[in-house]
Chain A
Amino acid sequence: MAFCRMVDIIYAALPLRPLRAFLIRSHMESCPRCQSRLLSRAEAGKLFVSSDDVGMPANLWGRVTTQAGRGTPIPEAPLVQPAGAGWRWAAAVSTAAVVAVTGFWLLREIDRQSFDPGSIRAANRFQLDYVNVGGAPAQTFVYQPQGTDTVFVWAIKNP
């Protein structure tokens, strides 16, 4: 009992996953007292929806083929693998470099006398012809907060 309490305190005080996994493996998984404070599989099963309880999504096959754009899905482009740490760093450095160069260029342009901010206003250049969601025309709302140069487009899939 005292040992269980000590394990609990260590578990709560040190949020290190390897240590916690070690405590679980070495004590909590085999200790009846600690096990009694855990949800059983049967209890957990009652809380979740199982595949026997849930119905098939409506017209799933039709939605999949429509979205895939063909009746016979064929493997195509390779799956993008999750980026590793090295790639993340490279991407972060590249992004920072692009932001820095763009910022530098913008500051230079603003300093020039001839610079006219109105000429590059995003809202002035904004044009929206048609919005499709899931292959069908969507309900679309265009919202521009007063006094800002920001345009939000909100498209809702038609039922």
Chain B
Amino acid sequence: MDEQKRPAVDEKEIIEGCLRGNPVSSRAMVDAYGKLVMAVALNVVGNREDAEDVCQETFIQVFRHLDRYDPVRNFRTWLLTIVYRRSLDMIKKKRRFSEFTARARFEPAVAERGGNPHSADPEPLPSALLTKLSPRERTALCLWANEGYTARDISEVLDCSASTARVYLFNARRKIKALLENDHGLLQNG
């Protein structure tokens, strides 16, 4: 993992403070890891509104279940595992919601609110990342590119073997490279 990207915070102290129920430590954790959680959530779910919800749910789960955190493990990896799972839940929820609206045939003006086409996301992800990669591949590629994670680190987040994580990462890198070489338009934002 890329050590340079670690925040300059005393992780252990913050965790211990949170476990004691110290609100200052809880606040410090949100401040220290908020951007990281938001970036990963945004890269996986693809829009800011959902990513903010994922962010909120992630921290709630972290605070509620911090006593389950094993200090032997890397805290960032544990945190990103929760972000990944919450993001997958959000994607599934959205998919079910889309199917529901398609079946129920609501008024378009109402249905669009759930589909989030007008989100105020200033920098949407390139559409190919969302359409050509599965959430697992996207997460693997994002963690590898942004966090410097290895296949083994990614496997902890995705809850799979290192071999499987290696395959996800390889497939993602190859697909996007092929798109870059063949059609630059597919990697335009939005």
Contact = CB atoms under 8 A, between A and B. Distances in A.
Interface of A: 17-18, 20-22, 24-25, 28, 37-39, 41, 43-45, 47-58, 60-61, 63-64, 67-68, 71-79, 82, 141, 143, 145, 152, 154, 156
Given A51-B146, A75-B65, A75-B66, 4 more contacts: A49-B43, A52-B35, A68-B60, A68-B64
Interface of B: 5, 18-19, 21-23, 26-27, 30-31, 34-36, 38-39, 42-43, 51-52, 55-57, 59-61, 63-68, 100, 104, 106, 110, 113-114, 123, 125-126, 129, 141-142, 144-146, 148, 159, 163-164, 166-167, 170, 172-174, 176-178, 180, 187
Sorted from nearest, which 8 A-B pairs have the closest CB atoms? A73-B63, A21-B163, A44-B145, A75-B67, A79-B65, A57-B52, A51-B39, A39-B173
B27 A45 contact: no
Between A43, A64, A145, the greatest number of chain B beta carbons within 10 A of the residue's beta carbon is seen for A64
A71 B25 CA distance: 12
B170 A38 contact: yes
A72 B60 contact: no
B41 to A, nearest CB: 9
A21 B160 CA distance: 13
Nearest to B100: A152
B77 to A, nearest CB: 15
B65 A63 contact: no
